[in-house]
Amino acid sequence: MKIQKDSPSAKIVRKEIGYSSLTLITFCATSWMIFQWEKSGITKIYRDIHQHSYAYFAVSIIIMIMLHDAYFYWTHRLLHLPKLFNWIHKTHHLSSNPTPWASFSFHPVEAIISAGIIPLIVLSIPCHPYALFCFLTFMTFINVMGHLGYEAIPKWVTKGKIGKWQNTSTNHNIHHQHSKCNFGLYFTFWDKLMGTHAVEKED
């Protein structure tokens, strides 16, 4: 289901691609920095999967997701303060009708803030590289899904007991249209708790 009737202009899509390319450079630099930190022994990254249980491996991915959900919500709210929005976050909101290319279309400063979750994770909890890979894959998938411009999740799922806590493409598209609601990434917990949750009006 297409969320907005119109499609974004080619000019906006080109900007999304350009800023996403800059973000990719920032993320690569962050990865290099983490690799150097690991060699210096200052991270909690472990490579022997038997050092912790397989159960912990699975739980560590869930911990990363929950940490990132909180980190994203509050840094996102911060970036919507007027001065920071105009200086930094407005770049992302050039896409009022986002495409998947908008997923990482950030001002360079926002790209650094976005990448900041990884140092936070590797310095605070034991994590295996494969667990980090699973987390980053999930993060990328959800972020792209949120900027599809199409809703892929049926309403009977999002209105269910579990599905109602899941963020959707529609939720994030509403954020791009109005910018004062739906700040979350994976879930709606923080938005509902802080009174910033908004839903699509029924026909």
Beta carbons of 106 and 16 less than 8 angstroms apart: no
Residue 182 falls in which region: left (phi positive, over 0), alpha (psi -120 to 50) or beta: left
List the chain residues with pLDDT less than 50. Answer: 202-203
- State phi, psi for 169 to the nearest 5 degrees: -60, -40
**Residue that is written with structure tokens 């699975």 in the block:** 58
Name the pTM for this structure.
0.91
Question: pLDDT value at position 156?
Answer: 72
- Do 19 and 109 contact (CB within 8 A), yes or no? no
* In contact, 168 and 150? CB cutoff 8 Å: no
Per-residue pLDDT at 200: 67
